[in-house]
Structure formats: structure tokens, C-alpha cells
Amino acid sequence: MLKRMVSLGFGLATMPARMTFKGARAVVAMPGDIEHFLREVRTVSDDVAREIQVVLDTVDADMKQKASHLDPQQKQQAAELALGAAEQHLSMAAVNVLRALWLTMDANRELAQGERAVVIEADR
């Protein structure tokens, strides 16, 4: 069960990147034909819709199995705990995205300065 939850979590975490990649691939593959572009976008959106449906079906099946024995009050308590955990994870994800962005921008800044810098070697 843990393996399945980790797999589901990984799938959800990587979904935005996969959607971006598929969308970029559709644009890059465009040979200048708008009809081709629209077909590619439609294919990508259909793929994403299928992936989302698989995630929803998986969550639905898991939760029916895990929560079938809980009464409505227990389900409400579990929902509140799950929302709290999700909020913490999303907050940390946002912080990590900002950190990655800052590091990327800072690295590019240092590279740009390094390319124009003049290095004077001195004999010691």
C-alpha cells in the first residue's frame, strides 16, 4: 500500500512537468501548420484528461477501501488532517520552487559575470 501511495504521490508531483513537456513538444513540433498545432494541442489535452481521470479513479478506490469503516465524524476529522498536511506540503513546494528559481537565476548571473570578467594572472 505504501508503494502505491508513493507511486501516486510521485505521479501527482510530476504531472505539471509532464503537462508542460507535452505542451512544449506540441509547439516545437509545429511545422507552421495551425491545423497540425491544434491537433497536437487536442492530443495533449486528451492525454492530460486521461491521466487526471486515472488519478481520480485511484484516489476514489483507495479512499473507499481505507475509509469504509469510518463514521461521518471520523471522516470529517480525517479530512481536516489531510487538508492540513496538504497545506504544509504545498507551502513547502512553493518555497522549494522559489529556492530553485533563485538558485537558477543566481547561477546564470554568476555565469554571465564570469564570461565578461577579465582574469589577470600574476606570477608568485
What residues does each domain of the chain span? 1-69, 71-124
Contacts of residue 55, defined as CB under 8 A and 6 or more positions apart, other chains included, come to: 8, 11, 12, 15
Question: What pLDDT, in 10s, does the model give residues 82-119?
Answer: 999 999 998 899 898 889 888 888 887 766 655 565 55
Contacts of residue 30, defined as CB under 8 A and 6 or more positions apart, other chains included, come to: 36, 37, 40
Residue 11 contacts residue 55 (beta carbons within 8 Å): yes
Residue 37 contacts residue 30 (beta carbons within 8 Å): yes
pLDDT at 27 over 80: no
Overall residue count recorded for the chain in this entry: 124
**Percentage of residues of the chain with pLDDT beyond 70:** 60
The answer, as to whether pTM is greater than 0.75, is no
- Residue that has been written with the C-alpha cell 501511495 in this structure: 5
